[in-house]
A and B are shown apart, each in its own frame.
Chain A
């Protein structure tokens, strides 16, 4: 007797113990059985007397079909046996009403399933013990050859089972689900293994999933009693290079070959090497059942998902999945089992040419169910209207209510309306046509809002542009949107055909105010065009109609209780569509909108001061900005009047919000996390964030808003099962019209809704639907990232760098993503000669500040992976080079300032180094301000750092300020 080395090797004995129950035939007495048992085991294993099994004869004081008897049998079937002890445990259970059951338990390292069945057959008189002998099993584990080893190493062990929920306290406990198989095929184990791999690949997004197999070796000698089970790892190729038939054939070949076995040691080494795990495995020893009885192939699941094909009592095929409750809940296991069976049935009857990707996991009913899951909880009750018409209603209701406040000055709804009318009349006089795009390039002032409203009143389409953006980018926008008129209060760098109109010129227009176009376009026509970062390397204009904005407000107004009692802030850049929500959210619900000057928006202290002064009730923030605000607020005793905070623009880590809830309980201030996309009109979903979300670190972004709906689809546009990641598609009332003048791109991203009327937007975001219909957002599918609320396309930055004639190759990566403020873009270039600083200067002409790499490191070549892709891990640490040789900062203040910068930026700082070129950004600027305050250094307005971004420059200004006090 020798033991085989089983996989997985790290499990408790119960994972490798199997058991069998048989009802004793009528007339077989306990005494007779005991005698037979003695003779049989002495014949088979007499040479190992210390491991000889004995028969335990026990009475159960209950009828054989009672619950007590049932519990007793289950307990015996699941009682483990140590691999080193007795070769077998045999328990005779004699019931009070006469019948008796024999329960046999063995460890796979001693006896395989067929051996156990033989023992049962002998003890129940179906076979004679003389026909069987103990056989040694040492020869069966052949080492894997080099090619097999290579395949294992290249396979994907990264499965996380994130599509199920586990119970951390479950220990070894194992659940069980059973699904009937309707259409059997020729080679059940091979087809089933391929099906398991296929489903796993879909669930875990793996091209080379790994499936473990534990079962008898093909050359198992007949009539032998012993251990003949061995492990096998199957690495399946789902890339599409193989047809489904080839996949099954390969699997069958691997199962039938004597090489390629994986023993416990190799298994452990592989997992240590890859840092992963084998998520699913097959037990292939379910022999054809004879007579009544129960076979338990494993007492606890050796693999998180242990798949056992077998037979039903009436001879049909069925699949049993035993799942470790620590990793997989019952609902998810049932879904998995159902999909494996469905995949199996398709593979078993695969037509030639069927590729793995053709296999459907869900039937129609389940597809309908998943589609319904992405629908909102409530229907949207609304009427499509124009933005300016809804605004007019608010003016009519409360003309004297304050609409806009900025730095102490206010405009009532009537005044705002009148001023916008005058602007609109002036625009019409300048020949603005219906549907014409008009640029609005104004800072955060009341006139920004007036101008937008005026453009709408003139039945034109506004194109917001942030004057802080680089000239080249603004020029691109003006050209791409074919702007004839740009409302701007400084020289607009557009050049070309756009003419600049200053707000004063529109204000002093003598024309007839209130003269609107008699016939205006429908609510379904464009209202604004916002430019977003584009994956092709240049920004693209998203055309959004009036009705979408009105739908957004209809979807949220009642739930959020939005109304005239509220005060909102306009905090965000007009080029970031969060501001669309801020502006129209306030003005279409009769609230007051406080325009936040740019410099205030950069300083959490000053912004908090504004929130307190203006008694702001509705606040919209990116999580990174809110973190800073929370910090500033914590230092004040006084509480803010904020009753609603909407998070948007980047993923929310809810955990730090616990401190906020301590100051602002949920019944005082509601926090809502919203997932959104410019192309679907600001928001898509909403998730209330409470202490529960903060404690659990939930990543849910909630249900779709009324009027919006979600699909999570695979690469072929099919819905993926609940819990499985795929690409988020958004349909409903928020879907934008198109990308301006980009019909091809529009056709790629705005698709016909596969399940209902209308269109869906293909977001490029990864997500999954939870069983309750909430969405989890899992990041971008491509290289697009969110940085401090801005959507940044790394490829766009890379293309800009490659546009530079002195750059031959470039790579752009996002680093330090654990800390929102520490997140920064680092670029690597292979220069054809020339100076990296010059490359940076040229890039700065095209890229806005938030897209400009913090560092540009020159390299001789870019590191590549074996597949020829950029090896991101092979990139060196970025070089943060001071612009000039370091010269000690002069003066006491300058010295202190440099120390603060060094502590915040983590690099040496010279007096003339540019803060932003050293990797500084707006969030670091806030940290510098906070650190200076902590050290008792003079406070300074945030704008000074932007105007004087060097230690010497800032020290000079601060000196001036303090000496004049």
Chain B
């Protein structure tokens, strides 16, 4: 069996559930040791429950079954101190960080036209979905540059490429994340540190990873989940929803040395949605 990430240490944010859990599990299967981070509590202003400490531990347990070393830590990507403490813990234990997956993000507060978004809602969205990724990059970037190796995978969205009605904050943050990806890719390219963005389309809310993105978007738009799902199945040319593992597989590839010449790129896993 060839392990595509053996010997590598990966830090994954937002790892308690959803795409974070799916990615962590697949990284473990490929032999990566993991440092799993999650805010692991609710945030004021976010109208739905975020990941919990219990969910984060469960993700870690799933990963340990593959025989890799897994550390967990509560970290809010809005807090510089949280992120830096997590990184220094990873260094103390593993001596290196090879991969950062910036997965932490929120989909709501959303569902409003632009002029209805209030100041706090706007700041919250930008702070988590865009600035959070930057904070994590700032914390590992110096180390990766010194190592002269590393891969940073920013989980953006098709909302980083096209607009969605009533999602101005989210769309702006994800567009910003793609911009951040490209700029940092150029900063780090001479040092062999790669930065790429991954844009999932509509991902099925898989109960195994306790995903709820689709449900929350439907709720923001005030439509029944089934109807919303159906609309996206129609909108994605392959006429099916994306599975969390489809996204995780792409993340493994971007994290592995197989993609060693890939940087500053935007990889869509959207069933052809943005090809239209």
Report whether A61 and B94 are in contact in the complex, using a CB–CB cutoff of 8 Å.
Answer: no
How long is the Cα–Cα vector from A400 to B92 in the complex, in angstroms? 91
How long is the Cα–Cα vector from A56 to B67 in the complex, in angstroms? 16
A28 → B minimal CB distance (Å): 21
A873 → B minimal CB distance (Å): 39
In the bound complex, residues from chain A placing their C-beta under 8 Å from that of B65 are 61-62, 68
- From A54, A72, A78, A91, give the contact of B67 (CB < 8 A): A72
In the bound complex, residues from chain B placing their C-beta under 8 Å from that of A91 are 69
Indicate if B33 sits at the interface (CB-CB under 8 A). yes
Interface window among A81-89, A550-558, A675-683? A81-89
Indicate if B64 sits at the interface (CB-CB under 8 A). yes
Main secondary structure of the interface of B (DSSP, over half): loop
Indicate if A69 sits at the interface (CB-CB under 8 A). yes
Indicate if B79 sits at the interface (CB-CB under 8 A). no
1/0 per position for A46-84, CB-CB distance to B under 8 A? 000000001010111110000111111001101111100
Report whether B95 and A82 are in contact in the complex, using a CB–CB cutoff of 8 Å.
Answer: yes
Indicate if B41 sits at the interface (CB-CB under 8 A). no
For B91, give the chain A residue with the smallest CB separation.
A85
In the bound complex, residues from chain B placing their C-beta under 8 Å from that of A75 are 6-7, 31, 33, 67-69
Report whether A61 and B64 are in contact in the complex, using a CB–CB cutoff of 8 Å.
Answer: yes
Indicate if B187 sits at the interface (CB-CB under 8 A). no
1/0 per position for A174-186, CB-CB distance to B under 8 A? 0000000000000
For A171, give the chain B residue with the smallest CB separation.
B257
How long is the Cα–Cα vector from A80 to B33 in the complex, in angstroms? 13
In the bound complex, residues from chain B placing their C-beta under 8 Å from that of A68 are 65-67
Indicate if B93 sits at the interface (CB-CB under 8 A). yes
Report whether A72 and B68 are in contact in the complex, using a CB–CB cutoff of 8 Å.
Answer: yes
Indicate if B230 sits at the interface (CB-CB under 8 A). no
Interface residues of A in 405-445 (CB under 8 A from B): none
How long is the Cα–Cα vector from A368 to B181 in the complex, in angstroms? 63
For B61, give the chain A residue with the smallest CB separation.
A61
How long is the Cα–Cα vector from A54 to B93 in the complex, in angstroms? 9
| Given contact pairs A61-B61, A75-B33, A85 touches B95 in the complex (Cβ within 8 A) | yes
Number of A interface residues in the complex (CB < 8 A): 24
In the bound complex, residues from chain A placing their C-beta under 8 Å from that of B66 are 68
In the bound complex, residues from chain B placing their C-beta under 8 Å from that of A85 are 95
In the bound complex, residues from chain A placing their C-beta under 8 Å from that of B7 are 75, 78
In the bound complex, residues from chain A placing their C-beta under 8 Å from that of B95 are 79-82, 85, 89
Report whether B68 and A56 are in contact in the complex, using a CB–CB cutoff of 8 Å.
Answer: no
Report whether B69 and A76 are in contact in the complex, using a CB–CB cutoff of 8 Å.
Answer: yes
How long is the Cα–Cα vector from A69 to B95 in the complex, in angstroms? 21
Interface residues of B in 32-72 (CB under 8 A from A): 33, 61, 64-69
- From A62, A71, A79, give the contact of B94 (CB < 8 A): A79
How long is the Cα–Cα vector from A79 to B6 in the complex, in angstroms? 11
For A85, give the chain B residue with the smallest CB separation.
B95
Interface residues of A in 67-125 (CB under 8 A from B): 67-72, 75-76, 78-82, 85-86, 89, 91
In the bound complex, residues from chain A placing their C-beta under 8 Å from that of B31 are 75
How long is the Cα–Cα vector from A70 to B92 in the complex, in angstroms? 23
Report whether B61 and A72 are in contact in the complex, using a CB–CB cutoff of 8 Å.
Answer: no
Report whether B93 and A60 are in contact in the complex, using a CB–CB cutoff of 8 Å.
Answer: no
In the bound complex, residues from chain B placing their C-beta under 8 Å from that of A80 are 95
How long is the Cα–Cα vector from A78 to B92 in the complex, in angstroms? 16
- From B6, B61, B92, give the contact of A54 (CB < 8 A): B92
- From B6, B67, B94, give the contact of A69 (CB < 8 A): B67
How long is the Cα–Cα vector from A89 to B92 in the complex, in angstroms? 9
In the bound complex, residues from chain A placing their C-beta under 8 Å from that of B69 are 58, 72, 75-76, 91
A727 → B minimal CB distance (Å): 42
How long is the Cα–Cα vector from A79 to B7 in the complex, in angstroms? 7
How long is the Cα–Cα vector from A79 to B31 in the complex, in angstroms? 13
A589 → B minimal CB distance (Å): 52
Interface residues of A in 258-298 (CB under 8 A from B): none
Report whether A86 and B92 are in contact in the complex, using a CB–CB cutoff of 8 Å.
Answer: yes
B257 → A minimal CB distance (Å): 9
In the bound complex, residues from chain B placing their C-beta under 8 Å from that of A79 are 94-95
How long is the Cα–Cα vector from A71 to B1 in the complex, in angstroms? 12
In the bound complex, residues from chain A placing their C-beta under 8 Å from that of B94 are 79
How long is the Cα–Cα vector from A89 to B209 in the complex, in angstroms? 34
Interface residues of B in 1-34 (CB under 8 A from A): 6-7, 31, 33
A909 → B minimal CB distance (Å): 52
How long is the Cα–Cα vector from A91 to B33 in the complex, in angstroms? 14
For B65, give the chain A residue with the smallest CB separation.
A61
B254 → A minimal CB distance (Å): 20
For A54, give the chain B residue with the smallest CB separation.
B92
In the bound complex, residues from chain B placing their C-beta under 8 Å from that of A89 are 95
How long is the Cα–Cα vector from A75 to B95 in the complex, in angstroms? 13
How long is the Cα–Cα vector from A89 to B95 in the complex, in angstroms? 10
B258 → A minimal CB distance (Å): 12
How long is the Cα–Cα vector from A76 to B7 in the complex, in angstroms? 10
In the bound complex, residues from chain B placing their C-beta under 8 Å from that of A86 are 92
B17 → A minimal CB distance (Å): 19
B119 → A minimal CB distance (Å): 44
1/0 per position for B65-86, CB-CB distance to A under 8 A? 1111100000000000000000
How long is the Cα–Cα vector from A225 to B211 in the complex, in angstroms? 52
A173 → B minimal CB distance (Å): 9
How long is the Cα–Cα vector from A91 to B94 in the complex, in angstroms? 11
A734 → B minimal CB distance (Å): 47
Report whether B67 and A59 are in contact in the complex, using a CB–CB cutoff of 8 Å.
Answer: no
How long is the Cα–Cα vector from A58 to B68 in the complex, in angstroms? 11
Report whether A60 and B67 are in contact in the complex, using a CB–CB cutoff of 8 Å.
Answer: yes
In the bound complex, residues from chain B placing their C-beta under 8 Å from that of A70 are 67
A172 → B minimal CB distance (Å): 9
How long is the Cα–Cα vector from A826 to B7 in the complex, in angstroms? 57
A18 → B minimal CB distance (Å): 15
For B33, give the chain A residue with the smallest CB separation.
A75
Report whether B64 and A59 are in contact in the complex, using a CB–CB cutoff of 8 Å.
Answer: yes
How long is the Cα–Cα vector from A806 to B61 in the complex, in angstroms? 92
How long is the Cα–Cα vector from A70 to B7 in the complex, in angstroms? 15
How long is the Cα–Cα vector from A137 to B33 in the complex, in angstroms? 35
1/0 per position for B231-246, CB-CB distance to A under 8 A? 0000000000000000
For B64, give the chain A residue with the smallest CB separation.
A61
How long is the Cα–Cα vector from A122 to B197 in the complex, in angstroms? 49
How long is the Cα–Cα vector from A68 to B1 in the complex, in angstroms? 13
Interface residues of A in 877-895 (CB under 8 A from B): none
How long is the Cα–Cα vector from A79 to B96 in the complex, in angstroms? 10
Report whether B64 and A56 are in contact in the complex, using a CB–CB cutoff of 8 Å.
Answer: no
For A17, give the chain B residue with the smallest CB separation.
B95
Query: Closest 8 A-B residue pairs measured CB to CB?
Result: A71-B67, A68-B67, A72-B67, A61-B64, A61-B65, A56-B93, A82-B95, A81-B95
Q: List 23 A-B contacts (CB under 8 A).
A: A54-B92, A56-B93, A58-B69, A61-B61, A61-B65, A62-B65, A67-B67, A68-B65, A72-B67, A75-B6, A75-B7, A75-B31, A75-B33, A75-B67, A75-B68, A75-B69, A76-B69, A78-B7, A79-B94, A79-B95, A81-B95, A85-B95, A89-B95
Known: A70-B67, A76-B69. 12 other contacts (CB 8 A): A56-B93, A61-B61, A62-B67, A68-B65, A68-B67, A69-B67, A75-B31, A79-B95, A80-B95, A81-B95, A85-B95, A86-B92
